[in-house]
Each structure stands twice: as C-alpha cells, then as structure tokens.
Amino acid sequence: MITPHIKICGLTREEDAALAEAAGAAYLGVILAGGPRLLTPDRARLVLGSPRHTVRRVAVFGDSSTREVVALAEQLELDVVQLHGTRSAAAVTQIARESGRQVWPVLRIAGTTLPPDAAELAAICGFIVLDAHVVGQLGGTGVALDWSGLADSVSALRESVPGLHLVLAGGLRAENVREAIRLLSPQVVDVSSGVESAPGVKDPVRVQQFVQAALDAAETSR
C-alpha cells in the first residue's frame, strides 16, 4: 500500500499552516466557500504563504463562478483548486483548462454509492474528493463516510479511471484514519475539524497524532 499524502484543510492562521507543513503535510488548504473557516482572498494569501516546492497550496471553492475561480487561482498562485458545490463536467473542464491548475472535484456522499457522474469527473482531472454530504454545509462537518460500504463503488471507479488519485475527506481523525486507509487506500487523506481545538484553530498534538496515525497505517499494511 502506498503512503497517503496528508492535507490539512480549513487553515485560518499562519502559525497553523507552518505547524501543518512542519508536521509533514503535503497540502495546505484554505476555505473560500463559506462556513466558520471562511477566509477572504487576502487572508488566504497570508495563511498559505508564497508558492514553494515543499508543499502544495489548495483553496476550496463553493458555487463561485468559473471566472471567479480562475481569477482567484491566479491571484493566490494556487497549486490546486478544490471544487465543492454543484458543477457540470463541462464547467470542471473549463476551470482546469483556463486556470492551468490541478483541479479536485468533490463528490458529497450521503450513502454507499457514488453519483452517476463520478467517473466522468474523475477522468477529467485524475483526482476526485469524497466527502460527507451534510445539508447546508460544504465540508469540515466532522461527519465520516461509510468507508466499508463505499469500498466496492470506489474499486469500480478505479477500474473505470486507471491511475485515479482518491482524496478522502469527511470526519477523519487520528482514531479512525487507519481504518479509512485500510478500506479505501486513498492517495490523500484530508482533515480539518479532526485536528482542531475550535473551528479553524489547529491543535498541535492532534495534528501530530493524525500524521503519525496515517503513516503507521500505511506501514502496517505493507
């Protein structure tokens, strides 16, 4: 089993971004889509810092227009654009083409089956994010997916989209990330509320515990 990369999302403070990077996160994420971790573009730039080879910088968008997403991707010099909300395959393709960034479409899952357009969206970008569907919220809910129930659907998706990179979000924390990795073998595990002491405030101990648990899960599966 490959060792998954770690994304620490919902960052609101520069010191937390530095903490996440020092702990071994490969991706730093900020929220431009609403909720208690919402940042302005100016704050997002400060939290993410300058582009660098040591980490990739991600912004999460909701239902912003294609033009706004592309403009902010350029303004913030993002590495990755993560798309929550409802977007067609054509819109995702346009954002990927016009931004020149890696694009991660998000599938919000309420049960144990994937949406009908899952394979189409995954094939466009080579990445897909699975997150829990909670009415009125786009992410950071602390609600976990049914990983065991989704295993067959994820396996079928991988067969239809060879080389797919699976990003797993939704209710992950140090206590359960091993099981999630064992069942779905994601390339990236994405955590926000699971390493917080309050919304948008990362807890150094929880960050370290999460990173170590993810590394241990991959090691013990070899």
- CATH code: domain of residue 172: 3.20.20.70
Residues of the chain with pLDDT under 70: 1, 133-142, 218-222
Question: Using CB atoms within 10 A of its CB, is residue 85 exposed (0-12), middle (13-18) or buried (19+)?
Answer: middle
Looking at residue 198, its pLDDT comes to 95
The pTM of the full predicted model, rounded to 2 decimals, is 0.93
Number of domains composing the chain? 1
Q: Which two tokens stand for residue 152?
A: 């067959």
Looking at residue 221, its pLDDT comes to 56
| C-beta separation of 113 from 152 below 8 A | no
Looking at residue 135, its pLDDT comes to 43
105 vs 82: CA distance, rounded Å: 6
Looking at residue 3, its pLDDT comes to 86
Range of 64's domain?
5-220
60 vs 47: CA distance, rounded Å: 14
Looking at residue 124, its pLDDT comes to 95
Looking at residue 188, its pLDDT comes to 98
75 vs 101: CA distance, rounded Å: 12
